[in-house]
Amino acid sequence: MNKLSAVSDASAPPIRVLLFLTSLHPTQGGIASANRNVVRALFEMGPEVATGVLAYHGATPELPADYLNKRQFSFAVGCESSKLRLVSQYIRLSLSWRPALIFVDHLHLAVIPYLFRWIVRVPFVVTCHGIEFDHAVTKLRRVAFLRARSRLTNSNFTADRLRRMFPGVQIDACELALDDLGIPEDAAENVDSLIDAFGLSQPLGQRFVLIVSRLASKERYKGHDQLIAIMPSIIDKIPDAQLVIVGAGDDAERLQALARESGAGKAVLFTGFAPPELLAALYARCRLFAMPSRGEGFGLVYLEAMRFAKPCVASTVDAGREVVADGETGLLVDPDNLEELRAAVERLLRDDALAARLGKTGLARLEGRYRFRHYRARLQETLAEVVPAFAEGCPAETKDNLLVSAGR
C-alpha cells in the first residue's frame, strides 16, 4: 500500500480534508458509491491525512470499518437535508478544524464554499458527474464552478463535454473505479423467485437481462422504458427470457404499469432495493447487464457487472461508451433505436459463447483500469495539484513533476 511518506517532519500535523458531500449511504446511488471510494482512498493514504465529513442528506454518516483502514473520521456530521444546518455546520467546522482542502462532491453544494470564501479561506475542489449540466446552470453555480481551485470529472467523456461548455477552463478527468467493498465477491445467496409486474411470484430462470439503478422519476433516461418495450418481441423468440429491474424509487409504480401494459408483465421482475448479497447473486446469475442510458457521466454499475464477467449493453451517446468497449466487453446501441437494442439483447441471450467471451474481456478490462488501486492513484495525483503535500505518496516520476510545478 502506497502511503504518504513522512519525509518532511514526523511530527508535522496531518493534511486535513473536509469532505463536503451529498451522501455516503448505499441507497443514494452512484455519487454516494463514488464518495465511499474517496473516503477509502484518503484513509489509505495513511495517518498523514485526517478526514472529516459533512453530509447534506441523512443523519450521522457511517461506513463499515474496511473503508476507514482501522481508523475513524475526525468528525462525521449529517444535516438531514436541512440547508440551514448545512451552511451553519460548514462554517463552524471549517473555522474550528481549519482544513487544508475542501472536497465537494456536487456542483449544487459548491455554491456554499464560494459564497463563504471570505470567511473560510480554504481551496475547494468540485467533482462533476455530468447530469447537473443537462439543464441551464444558474449564474451562481456557474461562478462557483469557475472559482473552484480544481474541477474534476468522473470520466473523459464528461471532461470533454465540460471543456466544450467552458472553453479555456482547466477540467481534469479522474475516472472512477469499482467500489469492491460494497458488493461481496462471492454470490452466496440463492434466489429462487422474484415478484413480477402483477405482484405475483415468478421462478427466476437462467436467461435474464439485469438493470440496476434508482427508479427515480427525475432519472428516466436510464433505459428502463426501452428495455420493457422490447421484452414482448424478446420473449416471442426466447420464451424463457426475463428482465430483472433492481432498484427503488418514486417511478417504480409507473414502470410496473408499463410492464403490465406491454404484455410481458410476467417476464419483467422487480426486486426493490437490493442489499449487497442479493445484488451479488443477481450479477452472478444474469446472462447480461443492460443499461441503454442517455445521461451517464460514468456508469459504475457497468463495472459491477464486469466484476462478475458479464457482458454489458450500453449507450453510444453517453459515458457508457467509454466504460464498455463495443464488441470487446459488450455492445453499444443507440438508446432511441429499439430495434438496435432488441437485436443486441437477443444476440447476447442466444449466443452463449459470445456472452462468455465479452464477459471475460470485461473482467480483464476492470482489472487493468477500474480497480480501486487505480482510482486511489488517480485521485492522489489530482489532489497533489492543489495541496502539494499529497505528492509525497505519488509514484516517483509524478511526484517530481508535481513538486517542480509547485516550485518546491
**Pseudo-torsion of CA 395, 399, 400, 405, nearest 10°?**
150
CA-CA distance, 140 to 142, in Å (whole number)?
A: 5
Query: What pTM was estimated for this model as a whole?
Result: 0.91
**pLDDT given for residue 285 in this prediction:** 96
Q: Fold match between 15-177 and 193-365?
A: yes
Q: If you ran DSSP here, which 8-state letter would residue 244 be given?
A: E
**pLDDT given for residue 2 in this prediction:** 52
**pLDDT given for residue 135 in this prediction:** 87
CA-CA distance, 278 to 50, in Å (whole number)?
A: 34
158, 323 contact by CB (below 8 A): no
Domain boundaries, the chain: 15-177, 193-365
Region of 316 on the Ramachandran plot (φ > 0 left; ψ -120 to 50 alpha; else beta):
alpha
CB proximity list for 9: less than 8 A, separation 6 or greater: none
Let me know if 45 is exposed, middle or buried by CB neighbors in 10 A (0-12, 13-18, 19+): buried
Nine cell digits for residue 391: 505528492
**pLDDT given for residue 406 in this prediction:** 38
Alpha-carbon distance values, 253 to 118, 148, 216, 259, 346 (Å): 47, 40, 11, 10, 26
Closest C-alpha among 308, 269, 313, 314 to residue 286: 308
56, 24 contact by CB (below 8 A): no
In a 3-state reduction of DSSP, which class is residue 384?
helix
Specify the CATH number for 193-365; select among 3.40.50.10470, 1.10.490.10, 3.40.50.2000, 3.20.20.70: 3.40.50.2000
Alpha-carbon distance values, 338 to 233, 342, 345, 346, 398 (Å): 11, 6, 10, 12, 46
**pLDDT given for residue 47 in this prediction:** 80
**Pseudo-torsion of CA 397, 382, 366, 317, nearest 10°?**
-130
Q: How far is CA 248 from the centre of its chain?
A: 17
Q: Amino acid identity, residue 229?
A: A
Cβ–Cβ contacts within 10 Å for residue 386, how many? 17
Closest C-alpha among 4, 1, 9, 68 to residue 39: 68
Let me know if 243 is exposed, middle or buried by CB neighbors in 10 A (0-12, 13-18, 19+): buried
**pLDDT given for residue 4 in this prediction:** 59
CB proximity list for 99: less than 8 A, separation 6 or greater: 16, 17, 18, 52, 122
CA-CA distance, 256 to 270, in Å (whole number)?
A: 8
171, 133 contact by CB (below 8 A): no
| CA max distance for the chain | 70
Provide the angle, in degrees to the nearest 10, between the axes of the packed helices 396-405 and 372-384: 20
Per-residue pLDDT tens digits of the chain, which is 408 residues long: 455 544 445 556 899 999 999 999 887 788 999 999 999 999 998 888 999 999 999 999 999 999 999 899 999 999 999 999 999 999 999 999 999 999 999 999 999 999 999 999 999 999 999 999 988 899 999 999 999 999 999 999 999 999 999 999 999 999 999 999 999 988 778 899 999 999 999 999 999 999 999 999 999 999 999 999 999 999 999 999 999 999 999 999 999 999 999 999 999 999 999 999 999 999 999 999 999 999 999 999 999 999 999 999 999 999 999 999 999 999 999 999 999 999 999 999 999 999 999 999 999 999 999 999 999 999 999 999 999 988 875 554 444 443 334 343
SS (H, E, C) 11-77: CCCCEEEEEEECCCCHHHCHHHHHHHHHHHHHHHCCCCEEEEEEECCCCCCCCCHHHHCCCCCCEEE
CATH fold of 15-177: Rossmann fold (3.40.50)
Nine cell digits for residue 336: 432511441
Strand (E) or helix (H) holding 209: strand 208-212
Nine cell digits for residue 354: 459470445
CA-CA distance, 280 to 186, in Å (whole number)?
A: 7
30, 298 contact by CB (below 8 A): yes
